[in-house]
Amino acid sequence: MKYEYFFGSRWRQDLCAYLEKNNVSYKILDEVDNVPRFMKFSVWSNHNECESILSDLYKLTGLRPWVQAHYSEKDFSTAELLTIRPQSIKICIENIDESFRYDCCWSYMADKIEIHKANHEEQIGTIMIKKEPSTTTKTAFWGPDDGGTIIFADKKVFDLVQKENLKGIFFQDILLKNRKISEKVFQMLADHTIQHEDIVLGRGEREQTCPMCGKKQYALPDAYQLHLRDALVYHEIDFFSTERIFGDGIAQPIYLISQRFYQLLKQNKLTAQVNFVPVILE
């Protein structure tokens, strides 16, 4: 695994000179009358002077990088568990008020408009979607367009889970706007929930406390990698969710799959537009 520290900046000649001196490539993004305006560049963790370069760049620009982890195939293939999250967030939920209950609600005014917020949600009904996503592409998993971590899967995934007798997974029907049940898309849910105390914290999470109920939740840094206390159950079933304790805003779960499930998805070419991250068991 290696980390990429990505920067975007206004073009500066002194910055270009510093990057060239330290063998860091950059790209000009915009020019007006042949005069550069913006630039982007990345510093990689395997650069011999990575730490000192990052320190110098902060002093020079005041910018904090966006960090992305790049895992090797060995990292993916040797992990007992991997987190899973669809990158395609195309599904619009039509019946939010019917399918979810919200707790610890509050509101504030912005430009004379009252904005309503909530810290916690619980699914209480079947989800209705505005439109089925295309199932003729390589994408077999989707997320909601509101930023939540719900996982929707197509029938190829449903059939694979049944055929291979994968454990800990159940599927909930999805309603269409005409109240008919979709035959193409399902919500994928976990039988087993990983409890708060089984999660090893201290990996850059920012702890927040709900001012209404006192529950804790954790905003996650870039390139976050989940650490868990090892347990026998992680070697026996194929799909898990954590408690709803993650995120900045409404607390969300993280979903995880077994190595067996991951390999089956790969073999059946069902991993397009899905983000997997190896989990560390301690």
CA angle 160, 185, 136 (to 5 degrees): 80
pLDDT attached to residue 66: 95
CB 37 within 8 A of CB 11: yes
Euclidean distance between CA atoms 42 and 4, whole angstroms: 6
pTM over 0.85: yes
How far apart, in Å, are the Cα atoms of 60 and each of 22, 23, 64, 181?
A: 14, 17, 11, 57
pLDDT attached to residue 116: 81
- Distance separating the N- and C-terminal Cα atoms of the chain: 18
Q: Which residue pairs from 143-147 have beta carbons closer than 8 angstroms and sit at least 24 positions apart in sequence? A: 143/85, 143/86, 143/87, 143/88, 143/89, 143/91, 144/89, 144/91, 144/92, 144/93, 145/89, 145/90, 145/91, 145/92, 146/93, 147/89, 147/249
pLDDT tens per residue, the chain (282 residues)?
999 999 999 999 999 999 999 999 999 988 777 778 899 999 999 999 999 999 999 999 999 999 999 999 999 999 999 999 999 988 999 999 999 999 998 888 888 888 888 889 999 999 999 999 988 888 999 999 988 999 999 999 999 999 999 999 999 999 999 999 999 999 999 999 999 999 999 999 999 999 889 999 999 999 999 999 998 888 899 999 999 999 988 999 999 999 999 999 999 999 999 999 999 999
pLDDT attached to residue 199: 96
* Residue 157 Rama label (left phi>0; alpha psi -120 to 50; beta): alpha
The alpha-helical segments, DSSP class H, found in the chain are 13-21, 50-61, 73-78, 96-99, 155-164, 259-267
pLDDT attached to residue 91: 94
How far apart, in Å, are the Cα atoms of 149 and each of 108, 111, 136, 249?
A: 25, 30, 23, 13
Residue 80 φ/ψ, nearest 5 degrees: -65, -40
Beta bridge partners of 260: none
For residue 232, the 8-state DSSP code is: G
pLDDT attached to residue 195: 95
pLDDT attached to residue 33: 76
Virtual torsion, Cα 140, 143, 144, 145, nearest 10 deg = -100
208: Cα separation from own chain's centroid: 19
Beta bridge partners of 172: 187
What is the edge-to-edge ordering of all strands in the sheet holding 181-190? 141-142, 152-154, 181-190, 169-175
pLDDT attached to residue 108: 83
pLDDT attached to residue 137: 84
